[in-house]
Amino acid sequence: MYLNMMLTKARTSLIKSLKLKKIRIQEELFVIEGAKNVIELLKSNFLLHSLYATTTFLDANRKLVKSLNAEIFTATDTQLAAAGNFRTNNSVIALAKIKENKPLSAGAGEFALILDDIRDPGNLGTIIRVCDWYGISKMIASTSCVDLYNPKVIAATMGSFTRVNLFYTNLKAFMENKNGPYYGAFLDGDNIHTIKFKSRGYIVIGNESTGISREISALTDYRITIPGTGHMESLNAGIATAVVLDNLYRTKRDKRHCPPSRL
């Protein structure tokens, strides 16, 4: 049953205030905007706090909305655009509870990603989306990395934030206490196309400008690089992650038995 209420000033203020990290921490809430991200949220194990949507969205997703245990309000596109963090909004805003920061590590036969000081929200969102594509469900991030629940990060993931888990921690302590191997992305490492990855481990991606920090670099087991023939000094962190994970996926695929080609 929808509550036929217009967005109040108080509700609008709450939504807009959650673009600030300190308010998100205080309220233990974050904002999800747009139909794609919100639908993925509603299918996930995130705890929904409230939903603000057009009647068109609610009617189109009636089965999904019907089972929700949260406040549901109707709103116009204009009201949603005014309340949200972006200039345009296609029909819905949701507020959800922030998850507990639980420890993660790579299990047997599994790879996880380690992020050292990723600062750009778009890069983190892209990296999460790339991990989702390649089946990487665990990420370990330094405490200096941008907040997962930043609205720009959530928007850039296109719903992948619901399937990729992220743990913020002291990376030096984590890497000293966990068994690698650790594969760090550097400008002067071994060619990624010739690397034979182990059955489990961690891929380490560094800061957009300075790369992997000195203390984390000292803890990596293998230095890998993406060879290029152009004149750019480095690749975007999201693109670099995609190339490394594609080569990791290829190596793991080649280790499996494949039937003879029909071609």
pLDDT tens for each residue of the chain, 263 residues long: 455 566 778 889 999 999 999 999 999 999 999 999 999 999 999 999 999 999 999 999 999 988 888 888 888 888 898 888 876 666 899 999 999 999 999 999 999 999 999 999 999 999 999 999 999 999 999 999 999 999 999 999 999 999 999 999 999 999 999 888 999 999 888 999 988 899 999 999 999 889 999 999 999 999 999 987 665 566 789 999 999 999 999 887 666 544 444 43
Cα 198 to Cα 107: distance, rounded to the nearest angstrom: 13
pLDDT value for 257: 44
In contact, 7 and 129? CB cutoff 8 Å:
no
Residue matched to tokens 């345009």:
88
Strand partners, 225: 191
pTM of the model: 0.90
Cα 123 to Cα 241: distance, rounded to the nearest angstrom: 10
Residue ranges of alpha helices (H) inside 28-105 are 35-42, 55-60, 62-66, 77-83
Domain boundaries along the sequence of the chain? 9-97, 111-255
- Cβ partners under 8 Å of residue 39, min gap 6: 61, 64, 159
Q: What are phi and psi of 143, to 5 degrees?
A: -65, -15
Q: Give long-range contacts, CB 8 A cutoff, 24+ apart: 55-58.
A: 55/2, 56/91, 57/91, 57/92, 58/2
Domain 111-255 classification at class level: alpha beta
In contact, 48 and 56? CB cutoff 8 Å:
no
Cα 96 to Cα 38: distance, rounded to the nearest angstrom: 10
Helix (H, G, I), strand (E, B) or coil at 15: helix
Q: 111-255: same fold as 9-97?
A: no
Amino acid letter for position 80: L
9-97 topology per CATH: 60s Ribosomal Protein L30; Chain: A; (3.30.1330)
In order of 28, 85, 197, 206, the CA distances from 213 in angstroms are 31, 33, 23, 7
Sign of the C-alpha dihedral computed for residues 126, 131, 137 and 139 taken in this order: negative
pLDDT value for 230: 62
pLDDT value for 9: 82
- 29-33/92-97 β-pairing: antiparallel
